[in-house]
A and B are shown apart, each in its own frame.
Chain A
Amino acid sequence: EPEVTQTPSHQVTQMGQEVILRCVPISNHLYFYWYRQILGQKVEFLVSFYNNEISEKSEIFDDQFSVERPDGSNFTLKIRSTKLEDSAMYFCASTISAKNIQYFGAGTRLSVL
């Protein structure tokens, strides 16, 4: 069964460093999303992406964040200068149409030291 894959599963970085989290959505999906979940808290929407541009973004998704679909398969989330409070699980999701079931990856645990 097709699935969303995320790499790495765990990323450790120093405060102030740039990180890139990678996702490979399901191949025929057209809509892509990033979410984060701080330990013990709710899953929070970050950004949605369609047709090579951002569709929606939350207040969390500030200038430190960016997304890119550099080729036909990858979807990346870049955090330019990480802060301690960026430590969280980051989930990628994709769907074939905007109002349909979203399929989630297993997540990347980001630890900022």
Chain B
Amino acid sequence: AQTVTQSQPEMSVQEAETVTLSCTYDTSENNYYLFWYKQPPSRQMILVIRQEAYKQQNATENRFSVNFQKAAKSFSLKISDSQLGDTAMYFCAFMKTGNKLVFGAGTILRVKS
């Protein structure tokens, strides 16, 4: 069974600064997908960024980028130029092709002005 571990229950960052959220996972699969989701208080789960395991290049979406280390089974999220609207719960998730998402326990991120 796959597991996803987020070791940081809470993180804080000053507005405009950079923060990195950690995620490790365990799997015996070779082909899979990794995701970071954002969940604000509205409970709407919003996709931030995704990474296909077969791609060596790290995914980037505007201010969001990942550091994907397949051998180490590590998938961290870097948020640059943090904004107040980035305050939310962030979940790392794993999926093998065509199947369910396995989520970590989440990291609460607070962006301070």
Q: Do A and B come from one complex?
A: no
Interface on A for B, CB 8 Å cutoff? none
Interface on B for A, CB 8 Å cutoff? none
